[in-house]
């Protein structure tokens, strides 16, 4: 136990741990109390809207962390991470559809869209999805397995750089077309929605929402610590070495294929879990999540926050999505212009992202003081 504690203690300095503790207090103490115990009229009340919005952004932040591990540290730009996110979301969505029971529009045993298509029984891949543990297994196994098989062939054939990015983009696009089709049994372009319950709890109640919010927060902090452990281990140093000089890594006796495959698969699994947490909070999953633009946006979050820093990924996901929810309400037609401008500005003026710029400013002011 002692060694585990000291291993964790090394991950961040005292300041980092204080910041993490503060975040944990906010996520598990302050927000739940303000949302549940403080009455509606009070200025301190946190509304359901905010709980859901922040919960959603935290899911995105987990995806951004997963992206930073593979892109920032290993130099592999995936433009298909939205696919893994959506697959996790769909696996959870199937379970939530089964949880609706006979309370749907048609009051049938089958999900509404299947009744509408005049299907008489569940397709094979819906087997056992009424069991939560099975759905949870799918959330991890489907993105993980797909990533492993895809990565195995891509990395073994030494597909690299922009070629790899393009293939991942094609992969998510192909999956989107597949999920759009009614006969694949994923609800076509409407996807899944109208969820009622999760693990027996009614989804729409404040209590369930706050619980989902806290679970997502725990997952986010856990992912951050796991990522930090990985990148400060020898494993992480090998990843960065692969990014910088892969041939030297090979001639040092490391097989880069195994290292890439490990971090790539882990990254996909984290996205799947984020997707599974996202769906009950947002209340819908459809093939739009697999659109190429979504996956590109994930890369933008990480670039804005700062690659290869982990906290940068979290900050980037927060900044871009916070701005997005503001803009799409205030000036809906300008959001895409804003996103494009943001990306250009960051590339031009903050090549290391927001976190890189802050670090630079700090070291500059520190350097200026003694002089």
Partner 1 sequence: MTEAVVRSTGGLGTGDGTVGRVASGELDTAHGVVLYLDDISVSFDGFKALNRLSLAIDAGELRCVIGPNGAGKTTMMDVITGKTRPDEGKAFFGQTIDLTRLSEPEIAQAGIGRKFQKPTIFEHHTVFENLELAMKADKRVRNALFARLSSAERDRIADMLRQIRLHDAADRVAGLLSHGQKQWLEIGMLLMQEPRLLLLDEPVAGMSDDETARTAELFLSLAGKHSVVVVEHDMDFVSKIARKVTVLHEGAVLAEGDMETIQANERVVEVYLGR
Distance of closest approach, residue 220 Cβ to partner 1, in angstroms: 22
Nearer to partner 1, 70 or 175 (CB): 70
Can you list the alpha helix ranges (DSSP code H) found in the chain?
2-9, 14-25, 31-36, 48-67, 81-100, 112-116, 132-156, 161-180, 206-232, 234-244, 246-251, 256-282, 292-305, 311-330, 335-349, 353-368
- Judged by CB, which is closer to partner 1: 88, or 236? 236
**Which pair of structure tokens corresponds to residue 290?**
């697999």
CB neighbourhood size of 339 (10 A): 18
Of 76 and 83, CB closest to partner 1: 76
Closer to partner 1 by CB, 56 or 307: give it: 307
Q: Which is nearer to partner 1, 33 or 252 (CB)?
A: 252
Longest pairwise C-alpha distance within the chain: 79
Check if the beta carbon of residue 26 is closer than 8 Å to that of residue 221: no
Residue 248 or 364 with smaller CB distance to partner 1: 248
Rounded to a whole number of angstroms, the minimum distance from the CB of residue 155 to partner 1 is 10
Between 230 and 342, whose beta carbon lies closer to partner 1? 230
Least distance to partner 1, CB of residue 79, Å = 22
CB of residue 23 to partner 1, shortest distance in Å: 26
Min separation Cβ 26 and partner 1, Å: 31
Backbone phi, psi, residue 353, to 5°: 80, -175
Query: Are the CB atoms for 181 and 113 separated by under 8 Å?
Result: no
DSSP state letter for 46? P
Structure tokens at 339: 């996103």
Instruction: Please report how close the Cβ of residue 262 comes to partner 1 at its closest, in angstroms.
Output: 5
Task: Give the contacts of 107 (CB within 8 A, at least 6 positions apart).
Answer: none
Q: Quote the CA–CA distance of 233 and 213 in Å, as a whole number.
A: 30
Phi, psi of 316 (to 5 degrees): -60, -45
User: Which run of H or of E encompasses 284?
Assistant: strand 284-285
Least distance from C-beta 332 to partner 1, angstroms?
42
**What is the contact surface with partner 1 in residues (CB under 8 A)?**
156-158, 230, 233-235, 237-238, 240-241, 244-245, 247-256, 258-259, 262
């Amino acid at each position: 136990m002692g060694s585990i504690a000291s291993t964790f203690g090394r991950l961040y300095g005292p300041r980092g741990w204080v910041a993490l503790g503060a975040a944990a207090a906010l996520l598990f103490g302050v927000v739940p109390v303000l949302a549940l115990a403080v009455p509606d009229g009070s200025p301190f009340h946190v509304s359901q809207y905010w709980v859901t919005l922040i919960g959603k952004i935290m899911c995105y932040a987990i995806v951004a962390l997963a992206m930073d591990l593979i892109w920032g540290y290993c130099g592999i730009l995936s433009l298909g991470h939205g696919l893994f996110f959506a697959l996790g979301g769909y696996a959870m969505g199937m379970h939530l559809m089964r949880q609706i029971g006979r309370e749907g529009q048609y009051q049938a045993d089958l999900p509404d869209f299947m009744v509408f298509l005049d299907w008489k029984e569940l397709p094979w891949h819906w087997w056992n999805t009424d069991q939560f543990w099975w759905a949870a297994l799918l959330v991890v196994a489907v993105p993980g397995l797909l990533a492993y098989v895809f990565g195995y062939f891509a990395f073994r054939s030494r597909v690299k750089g922009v070629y790899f990015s393009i293939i991942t983009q094609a992969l998510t696009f192909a999956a989107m077309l597949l999920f759009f089709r009614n006969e694949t049994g994923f609800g076509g372009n409407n996807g899944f929605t109208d969820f009622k319950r999760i693990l027996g709890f009614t989804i729409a109640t404040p209590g369930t929402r706050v619980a989902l919010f806290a679970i997502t927060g725990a997952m986010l902090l856990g992912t951050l610590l796991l990522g930090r452990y990985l990148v400060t281990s020898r494993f992480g140093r090998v990843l960065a070495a692969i990014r910088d000089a892969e041939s030297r890594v090979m001639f040092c006796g490391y097989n880069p294929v195994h290292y890439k495959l490990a971090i790539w698969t882990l990254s996909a699994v984290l996205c799947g879990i984020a997707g599974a947490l996202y769906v009950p909070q947002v209340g819908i999953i459809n093939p739009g999540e697999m659109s190429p633009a979504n996956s590109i946006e994930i890369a933008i979050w990480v670039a804005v926050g700062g690659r290869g820093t982990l906290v940068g990924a979290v900050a980037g996901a927060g900044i871009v999505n916070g701005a997005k929810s503001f803009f799409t309400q205030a000036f809906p037609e300008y959001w895409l212009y804003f996103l494009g401008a943001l990306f250009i500005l960051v590339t031009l003026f903050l090549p290391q992202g927001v976190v890189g710029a802050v670090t630079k400013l700090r070291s500059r002011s520190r350097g200026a003081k003694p002089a």
